[in-house]
Each structure stands twice: as C-alpha cells, then as structure tokens.
Amino acid sequence: MFKNPFSFKGRIRRSEFGISYIIFMFVYYLLIMLMAFSGDAGGILFFLFIVPAIWFMWAQAAKRCHDLGNSGWFQLIPFYGFWLLFADGQRHENEYGEDPKAIKFAQPATVIAQEQGPIQRTQVEGFSRNPTEEAPNSDHSRFLPPTNQSSGYPGGYKEGDLK
C-alpha cells in the first residue's frame, strides 16, 4: 500500500484510494486552520503545502481510474470521485498494470513440495522423532500426528501423494 504515492502510473484498490482521500482532507483542513490562526504567514504555508497534497490526490485518483480501465483524465468528470470510491476495479491485468487484488504466489505448493523431497519428521519442541518413543514432555505426545509405520511418513503419506 502507498507505493509511489506521487506517481501517476499503475493501479490502486478502493481502500487505498479511500485512505488517500481521508489523508488529503485531514491535511486540507489542518492547513485551513493553520491559515486562519496565523494570518499572512499561514497563507504562505497553506500554498506551500497544498500543492503537494493536491498532486498526491490527483496521482491517487489517476491510479484509481486506471484500476477501472479508464484514463486518469476521467477524474475531471463531476462527481466521478464517488464512482472511484465505490466501483469495483477490473479483474486481471489491463493496459495500466497488474490487478492490485491479484494474489501472487512465489511458487505453487506442489512445486515446493517436490523440491523439498519427502516429508521428514523432526524434533520440534519436545516432540519425539519416532512416535513409539516417549516424548521428553509426555503431555505433548497427544499432538503428534498418526504415523503409518510401513511408509514412515506422518499420517501414512506415500511417495506420490503430493503430486
């Protein structure tokens, strides 16, 4: 969340846009109060800080437009900001980038299991390697998985079960 908040490239989710809007409104009203209480110096500070805040909001709105499959210029349409808050983005990749809701896995679980080889039993916090042995802390032995003695794998898994 909030990767390159001042960039106009990419796509963002509704939640990030909503949080961005809340941040912008907080900064805006804080600057208004600062300007009201400090006179001329407040006016200078207002314009010094409002320009980056507006740039931030435009960039976030453009990325939200991209998530809907539209150009960033669509944010200039009156009341389009409400649509940006409530409309669901396009699924899958579009011309503006990858889907921000896409779940990314480094590798499928079957590939990881094949690379690691067969399941091995190890000593973990008082559990014995062999279920027939007495665990050092015998009250934890009830948490050991059942073992098929012929295969040696927990729960009786066989070599081809993970494919």
Q: Does 116 reside within a domain?
A: yes
Q: Specify whether 59 is located in the same domain as 119.
A: no
pLDDT digits (tens, 9 = 90+) for 33-82: 888 888 777 778 888 889 999 999 999 999 999 999 999 999 999 999 88
- The verdict on 19 and 78 lying in the same domain is yes
Same domain, 51 and 114: no
Cβ atoms 41, 126 nearer than 8 A: no
Q: Which residues constitute the domain of residue 41?
A: 14-86
pLDDT tens-digit series, residues 99-154: 888 766 555 555 555 555 555 555 455 554 555 555 555 555 555 565 555 555 55
Number of Cα atoms under 13 Å in the Cβ half of residue 44: 4
Instruction: Say if residues 159 and 148 touch (Cβ distance below 8 Å).
Output: no
